[in-house]
Each structure stands twice: as C-alpha cells, then as structure tokens.
Amino acid sequence: MRLLEEIAHIGRDPHTGGYLRYAWTPADLELRAWFRAQAEQRGLDVEEDGNGNIFAWWGSGGDAVVTGSHFDSVPQGGAYDGPLGIVSALLAVDELRSQNMKPKRSIGIAVFAEEEGSRFGLACLGSRLLTGAVDPAIDLSDRDGVRLQEVITPAGRRDDILARIGCFIELHIEQGRALTQPVGVASAIWPHGRWRLDFTGEPNHAGTTLMADRRDPMITFAFTVLAANKEARQRGAHATIGRVSVQPNATNGIASRVSAWLDARAAATDTVDHLVSAVFEKAQERSKRDGTSVELTTESVSGETLFDTELRDRLAKVLDDAPILPTGAGHDAGVLSAHVPTAMLFVRNPTGVSHSPTEHATDSDCEAGVAALARVLRDLTC
C-alpha cells in the first residue's frame, strides 16, 4: 500500500521482517520526521503536544474531526498495527482534496506516542499523558534504566488540544479473524490490563545445591505460567505472560529473581479481576511450597470501552451497514473515548495474526479502508 511501502524499511529487523519501532528511538524519530514532511507537503499545520504526540491540522477551528493512530510497535511487530491508521489518514485527506472538498469543520491527523508501551511498559502512554490519565511525573524506566523524563519532559494534560477535538476516529487493522468484509466499525474494547509479577528466591550453585534445598523462583514462575493459561481457558479469557527477566540469568546459578508481566483480558471486567486473583492465588500457594515469594503489582487497567453509539451507528450507516464488532486489542481510541466521542474503523485481517512479522492486510482492503475513512470524514465535515 502506497506510503506504507515508503516507511517499510524503517525499524525493520532484516532477519525476521519484524519491527522494532520503540518510542523516541531512531526508528521512531525517523517515522515522526517522515510524517511531519508528509503533513507539511499537504499544507497541514503540524504541532507537538509536549507528550510525544503530533497533531497535523487541516483548518484552524475547534470541533475538529481527528483521525490517526501510532507508529510504535511491539517487539517483532507487524507493518500495519498503528501505521495503517496514520497512512490511511494522509491518503484520505488526499482523496478529499481530489474531490475539491472544503471541510466546514477542521480535520486533524494524530500520531500518538508509545501506544504499545514496548519501551516504558505503559500502553497508550502518549494519549494517557495528553488526557491527564497519567501524571507527567510518572516514574517509568525502559529496560536500560533510562527514565521517561530523561527522554522527554512530558507536558501532561493539554486541555487546549482536547478542546479542539470534536470527535476521534481511529482506523486500525483488525487483530482477529471476526471481520469478513473489507471494513468494519468497532463497538467496544474488552476490559484489559497489565500486572507485574516478581518471584524472589535464593541464588545458589547449580552443581552443589541439592534439589530439596533449592528456593528457585524459576519453578514458581513456570508453575504460574501454566496456571495463567489454565485459569484463562477455564474463563474464556485471554492471559499472556511476557517481558520476562531473570536475575542473574547464569547458566550455572539458581536465579534470585524472575520478573514477568501478565496481560489479562476478557469480555467482562469481573472476569479479568477473577482471573488475575486466581493466578496470583495459585502463584502464592506454589511459592510457599518452593520457599520463594511472589509479588503482584498493577501496572495499568482499562475497563471496557463502549464506543459512542451515535457515532458508531452513523459510521456504519455511511459505510452501507458495515459490520459492527468488538475487539480484545487496546487502542488510543480507548483512552480518547473517555474525553470525546470516539469510534474505530477496522480493516480486514485475513489471517487474524497481529503483533507478528506476518501481520498482513491486502492492498484492496487497505484501499477500501482509505475510501471508508474519506467517506466518514466527508460525512462528518461537509
């Protein structure tokens, strides 16, 4: 898809084809510069909000219809998750310009920072800073120990920008297999959250310590991974353990500490809560047996997002009764929806695979997404 191809090489791992686009790293800075140039080529007024987010405005008025997404990726992520929404917004503006459209409301394109949370751990960091959902002084560090405030000095909540946004619409590749037509409209985002699990044991010699004398946190950790899988399956929920670090991670030493993140999601909030409590309970029981300890820390929790029904139905109607469906994936649209009427458009993902180098959408479906976004922007601003 045009423009996606232009940025395809940026932050791409040549061995796997996956993307390593982490916020404020060279790849991300290159993508931001590319976006700024694209926006300026279109005569859009570009501003940065001090939280890492970029806004490109067509028109200076308030009550703007804003669309956009994120550039950053999960480690070894795909080419579409995020960038498709930004590229489609640029191409939709081109489409409206080619129709000689003069919008009566401003149109904005937004690029949100650190949506995946791959660098600092907190998802939707940029949109959460913009809306005041997190404090600009928040204490976050990346895996190299670099603090957020060493990278940017977050401006925090920007009421002036929020006041300009009349509604927000995020176009995104669908991250499941539910969408069987080229374009769909989102109804909701499942409740989801991230919890950190820290397992502590006793470092010791791999060769001389009897098995019965060990206090190995890896054992409690391994048991917890299996428990999370079992508890999730029993509840029809989704649980994933990732971002694992083992200290000191020797080949011939028993670990002192294992840290991991639990990503838990389900169609209902209390299912997520029960899932996390059940996993932690099982981990604590096992830790008693292993002579280790386990701590649970809540990193971020997002309740169910129900998108604005009027906007949702209006988009579905404009798009000839496009299918309406929920998603288990989090988005900046979920954060914005607490502040402005918000909707999402999904572009079909034939395999449903995402957060993987093989993530893919066909060119014709991506073009259908651009056409749909243009139709929606026209409907809302003319």
Can you tell me which of 329, 336, 370, 373 binds ligand HGY, judged by CB under 6 A? 329
Interface residue with ligand HGY, options 28, 49, 72, 115 (CB under 6 A): 115
249 is in an annotated binding site: no
Name the residue with tokens 């809560």. 273
Note whether 331 binds Mn ion by CB under 5 A.
Answer: yes
- Cβ atoms of 362 and 350 within 8 Å: the answer is yes
Element (H, E) at 277: helix 269-290
Q: Tell me the per-residue interface mask from 110 to 139 with Mn ion, x by CB under 5 A, - otherwise.
A: -----x------------------------
Helix/strand/coil for 179: coil
Q: Is residue 116 close enough to count as binding ligand HGY by CB under 6 A?
A: yes
Classify the C-alpha dihedral 76-81-86-87 as positive or negative. Answer: positive
174 binds Mn ion (CB under 5 A): no
263 part of the interface to Mn ion, by CB under 5 A: no
Instruction: Please give the structure tokens belonging to residue 262.
Output: 């639990």
| Alpha-carbon distances, residue 262 vs 119, 120, 188, 244, 305 (angstroms) | 16, 15, 22, 10, 20
Residue number with CB closer to Mn ion (174 or 332): 332
Q: What is the largest CA-CA distance in the chain?
A: 78
Question: Any known ligand binding at 198?
Answer: no
Q: Which of 183, 227 has the CB closer to Mn ion?
A: 183
Residue 216 interacting partner from Mn ion, ligand HGY, none (CB closer than 5 to 8 Å by kind): none
116 assigned to a ligand binding site: yes
Written as one string, the DSSP assignment of 339-365 is TS-EEEEEE--SS---SSTT----HHH
**CA 247 to each of CA 196, 197, 299: distance values in angstroms, whole numbers, following the listed order:** 15, 14, 21
**Residue 330 binds to ligand HGY (criterion: CB under 6 A):** yes
Q: Which does 44 bind (CB under 5 to 8 A by kind): Mn ion, ligand HGY, none?
A: none
Apex CA 319: angle with CA 316 and CA 325, to 5°? 40
When asked if residue 166 is in the footprint of ligand HGY (CB under 6 A), the reply is no
Helix (H) or strand (E) holding 205: strand 204-205
Binding residues for Zn(2+): 70, 81, 116, 172, 355
Binding residues for allantoate: 194, 252, 265
Binding residues: 70, 81, 116, 172, 194, 252, 265, 355
Q: Which parts of this chain interact with Mn ion (CB under 5 A)?
A: 81-82, 115, 331-332
Q: Which parts of this chain interact with ligand HGY (CB under 6 A)?
A: 115-116, 123, 329-330
